[in-house]
Amino acid sequence: MPKEILIVDDDPDFVETMEIIMQGNGYETRTARNGEEAFKKVKEKTPDIILLDIMMKTKTDGIWVSEKIRTEKDLKEIPIIMITAVNQDSEMAKFHLGQEKDMEYMPVNAFMEKPIEAKDLLKEIKKLIGGPK
Amino acid sequence: MEPKICNINDPECHLDRIRGWHGDLEANITTLIKNLKDIREHSEEAKTACSTHYAKTVELTKAKTRFTYEVSHELKAPLASVYNILNVILDGYLEKDIKKQKELLNRAKVRINDVIKLLNDLLIFSRLEEGTGEIEMEKINIDKILPSLTEEMDIYAKENNIKINWDIPKKLPYIYGNPELLRRVFVNIIHNAIKYSNPKNTVKIKTKEGKSSFLLEVKDQGIGIKKNELPMIFNIFFRGENARPEHKKEGMGLGLSLAKRIIAAHGGAIKVKSKLNKGTTVTLSFPAIQKKEK
């Protein structure tokens, strides 16, 4: 069974192109458009890795998902790559959430900033979970 | 005052002189103390004014930082998707699927168009915000703007399975304004009403004429706005919880804040009444310059 990547982003074009790239490289994919949907899908079936957009504009954003996953005993080991649109997203998280959140302690394995170079992302995925099979 | 001359043998006279000096000295000291008190009070006032100013500057800087962030976000997200689309095609992922390639390229075109629209809106926004840029105003007949919109809006409504009920008299007043900006406001408000309606809803659009004002009312039966979100709807890039991307409502949250600024520049006002899941009524009012002129 090929390894499965859960792609979470509120931008449908971004999700679809990521799916094409990942499937083209032999991975299986599932997608979610907001935090809540992502968490539901992770609970239904544990993916091998999550590409998680920070999704500042949705009610349940990427930070929410990553924190929620890390509190679940069975899920906390899933590798997460957090994708940000603007590099100050982490700073702005404080603004949006109205509370101090230090991204250095964010429970994710890697950060990548948009636009994403497919080969860099594939390299990062390979480093975390290995090839598709 | 003439200095008092005393006889050398007149101690009383000397004592009087000394008493006089003492009195002057006392008066001087009292004045000095009063002056010092004044200075202290003034410096307290200056300190308060200074800290108020400082707090305001900090607030403004924060708002500016946030604004720059929001703008970069709104510009970068669509460009990142376009970048992905181009990469997918250039890297040959869709070599055998020309139809899909075309579909994605068309979407890239739409996204780039969105970015251009956003940039244009931002330019108008900053022009209005600074208050320095002159908006070209002229005497215009609402007749020339509203009826020309009906067809375009009806098409958009039909696509969304919404009906528009137009209640607009044949003769409309003249107002003083910029036709292009006013058109933009009307389109934005009607678009919003359609976008946030539920399928099969009706959007009612009517005009009213006051003694010296022209009113446009756009009423929908749509998803409405949460009470606690109402005060924020004119903030730049604000989007209500129901209006966010996961609910498939496109838009960036710039329209209303821009509309408010355009209306204000016209000496008009915008009022929004809304009930969650019941609908929203937006009323625009403009000073009319002449009543029902041909």
d(CA A66, CA A9): 13
Closest CA to A107 of A73, A78, A128: A78
CB A132 within 8 A of CB A25: yes
What pLDDT score does A116 carry?
A: 92
CB B266 within 8 A of CB B285: no
Tokens of B44: 């307290």
d(CA B8, CA A125): 111
Query: Residues A25-48: what's their mean pLDDT?
Result: 95
What pLDDT score does B228 carry?
A: 85
Q: Residue B24 above 60 pLDDT?
A: yes
Strands (E), chain A: 4-8, 28-32, 49-53, 80-84, 110-113
Strands (E), A85-131: 110-113
- Name B30's Cβ contacts closer than 8 Å, sequence gap at least 6: none
Instruction: Tell me the β-bridge partners of A32.
Output: A8
- The C-alpha of B242 sits at a distance from chain A's nearest C-alpha, in angstroms, of 10
Q: Is A14 in Cβ contact with B84 (below 8 Å)?
A: yes
The pLDDT tens digits of the residues spanning B104-133 come to 999 999 999 989 988 988 888 888 877 655
Q: Residue A120 above 80 pLDDT?
A: yes
Distances from the Cα of B231 to the Cα of A31, B31, B178, B239, B274, angstroms: 35, 53, 27, 12, 11
Residues of A in contact with B91 (CB under 8 A): 21, 118
CB A85 within 8 A of CB A54: yes
Tokens of A120: 């860099």
Q: Is A24 in Cβ contact with B244 (below 8 Å)?
A: no
Neighbours of B241 (CB within 10 A): 15
The band of B249, judged by pLDDT with boundaries at 50, 70 and 90, is low
The pLDDT tens digits of the residues spanning A68-99 come to 888 888 888 899 999 988 766 555 554 444 44
Q: Residue A28 above 50 pLDDT?
A: yes
Residues of B in contact with A86 (CB under 8 A): 69, 72-73, 76
Residues of B in contact with A89 (CB under 8 A): 73
d(CA A78, CA A65): 12
- Name A37's Cβ contacts closer than 8 Å, sequence gap at least 6: A8, B246
The band of B145, judged by pLDDT with boundaries at 50, 70 and 90, is confident
Q: Is B104 in Cβ contact with A57 (below 8 Å)?
A: no
Question: Which candidate from A20, A57, A115 shows the least CB-CB separation from B244?
Answer: A57
Residue B81, class by beta-carbon neighbours within 10 Å (0-12 exposed, 13-18 middle, 19+ buried)? buried
Residues in chain A: 133
With a pLDDT cut of 70, the percent of chain B lying above it is 91
The band of B2, judged by pLDDT with boundaries at 50, 70 and 90, is low
Question: What is the DSSP code (8-state) at residue A60?
Answer: S
**Chain B residues whose C-beta sits inside 8 Å of any chain A C-beta:** 66, 69, 72-73, 76-85, 87-88, 91, 93-94, 104, 107-108, 111, 239, 241, 244-246
Tokens of B4: 């008092």
**DSSP-H helix ranges across chain B:** 11-90, 98-130, 146-159, 179-195, 255-265
Q: What is the mean pLDDT of chain B?
A: 86
Q: Is A20 in Cβ contact with B93 (below 8 Å)?
A: yes
Q: Is B239 in Cβ contact with A21 (below 8 Å)?
A: no
Question: Which candidate from A59, A88, A116 shows the least CB-CB separation from B241?
Answer: A59
Query: Residues B148-171: what's their mean pLDDT?
Result: 89
Query: Residues B214-236: what's their mean pLDDT?
Result: 87
What pLDDT score does B20 carry?
A: 85
Closest CA to B277 of B199, B219, B196, B217: B196
What pLDDT score does A87 carry?
A: 67
**Would you tell me the crossing angle of helices B98-130 and B11-90 to the nearest 10 degrees?**
160
d(CA A38, CA A21): 20
Closest CA to B83 of A121, A110, A109, A54: A121
3 state SS of B292: coil
If one compares A2 and B209, the residue with the highest pLDDT of the two is A2
Query: Residues B276-281: what's their mean pLDDT?
Result: 92
